[in-house]
Structure formats: C-alpha cells, structure tokens
Amino acid sequence: MNKFNKIIKNEEGSMTLLWIGVLGGMMVLFLFVLNLSKVLAVKEHANTTSQQASFAATSVIYDNLSPSISSYDNYILSLNLDPLPKLLSEKIAEMESSIRSNPRYRDYSSNEISLEAMDRAITSELSGGFEPELLKNLLESALQSAVPTMISVARDTIAENKGNIDEAKIRLKDNRIYIRASNDFNATAYDKYIKGFRKKLFQESAGPEIGFLSSLTLGISDNWIPLGDEEITWEDND
C-alpha cells in the first residue's frame, strides 16, 4: 500500500510539473501575441504621427499663399486696364465652385476642395496667366520664408502625438512634404523568456501633392533633413 501511495504521489507531482510547464508556455505565448499586437498598434500610431505632421507642414504652404495672391491681384488692379483681366482670386473661387459640383470629389472635405482649387488655379496662372513671372517671384519669396514655420509645425505635431523629434526627418520631394517619425514600443517582459526592451518604430508619410511647386525654384534640397537639429539648413547644395 505504501508503495502504491508513493506511485500516486509521484504521478501527482509529475502532473503538477506538467501543468506548470503548460501554464508557463501559455504565458509565453500570450505575451508574444500581446507584444505583437503592441508592435502593430505602435506602428499605426507612428504612421498617424508622420501623416499628421506631413499634412500640417503642407498646410503651412497654403496658409502662406494669401498675401502673394492679394499682391498679384492688386498689381493687376493698379494697371487700370479695360477690360479688367480676371483676378487670380476669382479664378480660384470659380475653380472651387466647379470642383464642388463635380461628383468625382464628393468624398473630399471642404478644406481639401479649397486646397485643390487653389493648386489648380495657381498652376494654370503660372503656365500662362496674366503675369506668371511676377506670381512666380511672389510665391517663391513667400514659401522660402515659410520654411521655419513648416519645420516648427512638423515638430509640434510629432510632439503632440508623443512621437520622437530627435530622429524625425522632413523633406520636400515630388511636390510633397514627407515626414519620417517614430513612436516608442515598450515590450512586456516575462522572467528570462521574454526580455523587456524599448524600440523606436518608424513610419514615413507624405502630404498631398502641391502641383504648382513644379513651376517654382525654391532652392530646397530633396534630401532628408533632421528635425531634431537646433538649426536646420534646408538648401539645395547640389
């Protein structure tokens, strides 16, 4: 009987060890899935960070167009021509009305339609408007002055999304503002099987295309520029 009890106790001990092993394995598997889910969530967050920063920087360009458009229109008005050529602001308004009535753009927001109209009208004026060279000079001056604000806005947007500014980058390429930014991934640790660590997960996004930029000479390099630098030189040295 004592021998039989001893066998039973040994089997119970083995089963206990087996269950401990199974539970440990399940815990490791659970944490693996958990960390994988966290990786995907952080990558999505990093994508949102870079996307919002690129859109914010792009918005700065459009926000700085109004003075140039007004100066251009005022120049035309000062000539006292008869008949008076259509002003650029009027062309933008007509283009916006046309886009709003087009079913193709029904999914566009009001702001997106306004920017699209501005881009098209300015592109058209630069290619064959009343005084394209004057408009070109006005826009180049305004946009070169806007670069510090673009950089500042991009930085602020990344910070608001809890992103890392120290290794974030910006560039202007193919008439788009690109941002490369990251958010931190913190792995969940489990004993000696899964080590805890922190890693920056990067994503890159581009803002909407700004077609009229192809007609301008901004002297801006298309190389990546670190946003973490205190003083940024964004000039074409080629």
Per-residue model confidence as pLDDT tens for the chain (238 residues): 555 455 445 555 566 655 565 665 666 676 677 767 888 888 999 999 999 999 999 999 999 999 999 999 999 999 999 999 999 999 999 999 999 999 999 999 999 999 999 999 999 999 999 999 999 999 999 998 998 899 999 999 999 999 999 899 999 999 999 999 999 988 776 666 556 677 899 999 999 999 999 999 877 778 898 998 666 555 654 4
Number of neighbouring beta carbons within 10 Å of residue 38: 15
Closest CA to 161 of 184, 141, 177, 144: 184
Strands (E), 45-140: none
Residue type, 191: D
Distance CA 47, CA 183 (A): 9
3-state secondary structure of 168: strand
Helix/strand/coil percentages in the chain, nearest 5: 60, 15, 25
